Structure 1
Amino acid sequence: MMIAINGKQLLFTACLVLTTTVGLSQNPLNFGEGMLSADPSAHVWEDGRLYVYASHDEPCQEDFWMKDWRVFSTDDLVNWTDHGAIMNVSDISWADNYAWAPDAAFKDGKYYFCFPAGTGFKDRVNPENSTKWMGIGIGVSDSPTGPFEDHIGAPLWTEPYANDPCLFIDDDGTPYLYVHAMGADYKVIELTDDMKAVKGDFEKMDMGGYEPKMEGPFVFKRNGKYYYTIAENNRDLSYYMSDSPKGPWTYKGIFMKQEHDSNNHASMVEYKGQWMLFYHKWYENNSGCEDQKLERKINAEYLYFNKDGTIKPLKRTEKGLTAKYKK
């Protein structure tokens, strides 16, 4: 930069200090150009990163015929890493389709990936002709980003038909599995310590007399209380509370209303002292698919609690995690 002083021009080197203001993530979360994902299962592992395990939609896919699962991670809620397909139905000997909503857990130095998968065809016009079946499998890896290998080489059971697993490891190391299943909603079953089999049979939980149609159960623990969350009537997010992972449970109500009359699937996690809700939202389809009007992408919101531990109702926002968190 040239500046004139007493008629003489002197050359000054201007040091420009560049500052960038980076805002937190906004909705939908930026997992990459064109990435369609749903059914988020959020976890924070020992490395301090936040991981979101998800099902993977593809543009114009037929009737939720999904083939792999993905995981995304971040350490700042702004920049997300797509770790690619961590498991594919082609890796599974007992299924070839329906890579639907997964969950994950860490136990005894290993990472476990709990997934639904299946076979057959669902005839929506003539349901009596349907051959579709789904079961629950367990993947294992030394890394939170996989790749995961089929830990058992078979589903945990063949009946009942099941999906939407929630794998919860309690503080004493006991693994509990909750699912959405034919005749097994609002039931829980324990897994063996090696995570290779179920231990005993399903136990029907006491839900306090209220058992609406549901999907997507997710269980977490906060301040000594257990929370059992569901997509009530497959749409609204609601929850129960208990002093035990097996109940009895007390219904506490809806904390996020439905949108577009479409399903939801959510998880909750504490990251750096802040509780967050991860869920999927349906957007207008930009893929040019005539038969597919909406597509799913993952969103997040801050989650707030009352002094008694109940969840404060929240709304879907475009800002998501850009808003300042309130203690």
Structure 2
Amino acid sequence: MAASGALLLTAACGPVRTAQRTRSENPVFAGWYADPEGVVFDDEYWIFPTLSDYYAAPGEKLPERPTHKSSAIHQHYNIQTYLDAFSSKDLVNWTKHPKVLTTEAVPWVKYALWAPAILRHDGRYYLFFSGNDIQNDHEYGGIGVAVADRP
């Protein structure tokens, strides 16, 4: 009796084969990200995460890491100089929108662009973010807001 129950469980856990992908798998999209902000604008799902580390698909080359040192506690914060966004109409197929915000657009942020949150008000989009890994009162950093006409 127990053996047939185990056999049934094994069969139930086998892979489901379909002609069309019905779920996005885990992770939802390739890359090393954290702090995801999920939101729905009209009929489209959006995710705004923090870049955690560089990622290269098999066969691709990783981007070069910055060589400068900063006052950040963790030097990998130096790569956090942009935010990517991802959108989907069906939660299965995702489109990457690279570098929707960069430190080039925000002069007071040098590194550690992180923890995004977004909202829409009166047809404009407001992307809140943290900037820099301030360690004392002599460093500049904090929370900023970027404004745009589209996410």
User: Same-fold call, TM > 0.5?
Assistant: yes
Q: Alignment partner for residue 64 of structure 1, among 68, 72, 77?
A: 77
What is residue 58 of structure 2 aligned with on the other side?
A: none
Query: Aligned pair in 2 of structure 1 residues 81, 28: CA closer, same or farther (>3 Å)?
Result: same
Give CA-to-partner distance per residue, 1:78-102, whole Å, 9 cap, x none.
Answer: 1110011101112112221110111
Residue 63 of structure 1: how far off its partner (Å): 3.5
Q: Alignment partner for residue 90 of structure 2, among 72, 76, 79?
A: 76
* Counterpart AA for 1:78: V
Give CA-to-partner distance per residue, 1:90-123, whole Å, 9 cap, x none.
Answer: 2112221110111000000101111111266x5x
Residues of 1 paired with 2:131 and 2:120: CA distance? 21
Query: Aligned pair in 2 of structure 1 residues 139, 130: CA closer, same or farther (>3 Å)?
Result: closer
Counting helix residues as a fraction of each chain, which structure ranks higher? 2
* Counterpart AA for 2:112: Y
The percentage of counterpart residues that share the same residue type is 30
Residues of 2 paired with 1:84 and 1:139: CA distance? 16
CA contact (8 A) 1:95 1:119 kept: no
Say which SS state the counterpart of residue 28 (structure 1) adopts: coil
Unpaired segments of 5 or more residues in structure 1?
A: 1-18, 123-128, 145-327
Q: Alignment partner for residue 42 of structure 1, among 23, 38, 61?
A: 38
Give CA-to-partner distance per residue, 1:232-257, whole Å, 9 cap, x none.
Answer: xxxxxxxxxxxxxxxxxxxxxxxxxx
The alignment of Structure 1 onto Structure 2 pairs a total of residues equal to 115
Residues of 2 paired with 1:80 and 1:113: CA distance? 20
Tell me, yes or no, if structure 1 residue 23 matches structure 2 residue 22. yes
Say which SS state the counterpart of residue 112 (structure 2) adopts: coil
Residue 130 of structure 1: how far off its partner (Å): 8.8
Residue 23 of structure 1: how far off its partner (Å): 2.2
Say which SS state the counterpart of residue 102 (structure 1) adopts: strand
Q: CA RMSD in A?
A: 2.3
Give CA-to-partner distance per residue, 1:131-164, whole Å, 9 cap, x none.
Answer: 55531111111111xxxxxxxxxxxxxxxxxxxx
Residues of 2 paired with 1:112 and 1:20: CA distance? 40
Q: Alignment partner for residue 107 of structure 1, among 109, 121, 129?
A: 121
Greater RCO (Cα-Cα under 8 Å, separation 6 or more): 2
Residues of 1 paired with 2:140 and 2:23: CA distance? 41
* Counterpart AA for 1:74: S
What is residue 106 of structure 2 aligned with on the other side?
A: 92
What is residue 147 of structure 2 aligned with on the other side?
A: 140
Residue 21 of structure 1: how far off its partner (Å): 2.9
Moved over 4 A (4+): 129-133
TM-score of the superposed pair, with normalisation by structure 1: 0.32
Residues of 1 paired with 2:149 and 2:40: CA distance? 16
Counting strand residues as a fraction of each chain, which structure ranks higher? 1
Query: Aligned pair in 2 of structure 1 residues 143, 77: CA closer, same or farther (>3 Å)?
Result: same
Residues of 2 paired with 1:24 and 1:135: CA distance? 37
Say which SS state the counterpart of residue 40 (structure 1) adopts: strand
Residues of 1 paired with 2:116 and 2:132: CA distance? 13
Say which SS state the counterpart of residue 64 (structure 1) adopts: helix
Query: Aligned pair in 2 of structure 1 residues 130, 139: CA closer, same or farther (>3 Å)?
Result: closer
TM-score of the superposed pair, with normalisation by structure 2: 0.67
Say which SS state the counterpart of residue 70 (structure 1) adopts: strand
CA contact (8 A) 1:111 1:142 kept: yes
Unpaired segments of 5 or more residues in structure 2?
A: 1-17, 55-64, 67-74
Say which SS state the counterpart of residue 101 (structure 1) adopts: strand
